[in-house]
């Protein structure tokens, strides 16, 4: 009881002191406008539909949401009478979930972890199964779900060295938090070893694989390149999931390539939609012609801004070379490099891939990725432009493992062996 009150006080204080930044971002870029009040506990409601179980799947943002999409589909197929809820923290994750999983009964924003916000949403609700993706633990939410009868599972679990040190430092809190999770299905042996350093019974932790490796490729239009305004012979370098200041850095490093060969085009796909306008304005000042997905223009261009959600794989598909961004900034630590590789696109990434270490290792083992720093980026891209395609055996080899892994996860979800916590 005292612990819960102390946690509530700390969380409410941190939320209060973050309000100025949140309000500033709402005014400046529109960020949080759709999610903030809902995360406070307003304008969201869940009701169980029919006699089937209520299954709640939580994924933080875009990558985690896409990784659990197939799992959610399998669950819905096996339990058609189930009420399926998917929650997200970010607005981009929420939008991605709605596009990727139209069969879900409720798409929600996860409430802030205060008593009022959580209780407002979970009030009078019975949860049969709560599935967390990768690493997002919230004490109040987990505790209230357990009170309502939920079996709680972590799928595709991972934990960084930094998070491990933080959990070990605050071991008293960690014990209470992780006691709310019945089973930990983790990505690999390294993450299992790290989780077992925490106060978790060894039988609760099992390696089942990384759901992010199972990529559902969309149906691609054969005319997509021309539809965007590119010429048939244009060689496109797609820079996916970029963050500030990567666009400016990559543009300046590749500028000599653009100046030398007008048939080479840069296609930037910013990670966050609130930066679409910022990136387009930045490119307009570059000295090159610029077009954007959302605009109508017939002007000649060498730079294109993909200011749309849900088209990243399509932008990778038309590329001669893919640069997976988020990897030239240490605070981000990389994004999913297997997406362009699975499409057969020669791919490179930056030096910071610590949040995607397993994906990097897999790609490196198949000689399917070129890792470089910003100073050597030009040379790396020039070499990849001469490469016809990426190794094609990777997806087929992984899919056998992934099918088995997914079956095991789904079976575990249907017949959990976890024990309830008080």
Q: Where do the H-state alpha helices sit in 264-366?
A: 276-284, 312-317, 338-342, 357-365
Could you please report the per-residue DSSP string of 119-159? HHHHTT---SEEEEETT---HHHHHHHHHTT-EEEEEEE--
Beta-carbon contacts of 298 under 8 Å, excluding residues fewer than 6 positions away, are 229
What are the C-alpha distances in Å from 404 to residues 79, 80, 210?
Answer: 20, 22, 12
Torsion angle, alpha carbons of 357, 360, 365, 366, to 10: 150
Instruction: Name the catalytic one among 8, 47, 51, 64.
Output: 64
Residue 64 a catalytic site member: yes
3-state secondary structure of 19: helix
For residues 238 and 318, the answer to whether their CB atoms sit within 8 Å is yes
Between CA 300 and CA 230 the distance in angstroms is 10
Between CA 284 and CA 273 the distance in angstroms is 18
Between CA 41 and CA 259 the distance in angstroms is 53
Print burial letters for 92-113: b (CB count within 10 Å at least 16), e (below 16): bbbbbbeebbeebbbbbbbbbb
- Helices 171-178 and 161-169 meet at what angle, rounded to 10? 110
The pair phi, psi for residue 148, each rounded to 5°, is: -95, 15
Sign of the alpha-carbon dihedral angle for 394, 397, 402, 403: positive
For residues 316 and 240, the answer to whether their CB atoms sit within 8 Å is yes
Active site residues: 64
């Amino acid at each position: 009881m005292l612990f819960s009150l102390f946690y509530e006080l700390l969380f409410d204080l941190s939320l209060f002191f973050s309000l100025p930044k949140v309000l500033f971002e709402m005014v400046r870029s529109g960020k949080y406008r759709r999610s903030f009040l809902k995360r406070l506990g307003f304008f969201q409601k869940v009701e169980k539909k029919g006699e089937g179980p209520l299954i709640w799947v939580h994924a933080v943002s875009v990558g985690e949401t896409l990784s659990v999409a197939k799992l959610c589909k399998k669950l819905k197929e096996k339990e058609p009478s189930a009420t399926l809820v998917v929650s997200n923290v970010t607005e981009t994750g929420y939008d991605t979930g709605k596009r990727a999983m139209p069969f879900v009964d409720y798409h929600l924003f996860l409430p802030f972890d205060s008593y009022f916000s959580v209780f407002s949403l979970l009030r009078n609700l019975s949860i049969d199964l709560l599935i967390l993706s990768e690493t997002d633990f919230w004490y109040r939410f987990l505790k209230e779900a357990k009170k309502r009868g939920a079996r709680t599972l972590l799928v595709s679990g991972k934990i960084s060295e930094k998070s491990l040190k933080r959990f070990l430092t605050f071991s008293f809190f960690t014990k209470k938090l992780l006691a709310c999770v019945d089973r930990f299905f983790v990505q690999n042996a390294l993450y299992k070893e790290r989780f077992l350093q925490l106060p978790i019974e060894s039988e609760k932790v099992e390696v089942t694989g990384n759901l992010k490796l199972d990529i559902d490729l969309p149906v691609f239009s054969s005319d997509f390149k021309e539809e965007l305004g590119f010429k048939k012979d244009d060689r496109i370098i797609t820079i996916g999931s970029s963050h500030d200041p990567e666009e400016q850095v990559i543009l300046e490093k590749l500028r000599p390539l653009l100046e030398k060969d007008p048939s080479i085009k840069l296609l930037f796909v910013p990670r966050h939609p609130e930066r679409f306008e910022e990136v387009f304005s930045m490119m307009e000042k570059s000295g090159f012609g610029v077009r954007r997905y959302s605009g109508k223009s017939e002007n000649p261009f060498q730079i294109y801004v993909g200011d749309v959600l849900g088209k990243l794989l399509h932008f990778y598909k038309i590329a001669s070379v893919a640069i997976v961004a988020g990897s030239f900034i240490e605070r981000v630590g990389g994004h999913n490099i297997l997406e362009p590789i699975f499409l057969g696109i020669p791919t490179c990434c930056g030096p910071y891939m610590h949040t995607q270490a397993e994906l990097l290792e897999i790609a490196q083992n198949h000689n399917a990725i070129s890792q470089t720093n910003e100073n050597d980026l030009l040379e790396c891209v020039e070499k990849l432009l001469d490469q016809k395609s990426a190794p094609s055996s990777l997806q087929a080899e992984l899919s056998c493992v992934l099918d088995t892994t997914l079956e095991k996860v789904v079976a575990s979800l249907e017949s959990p062996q976890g024990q309830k916590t008080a």
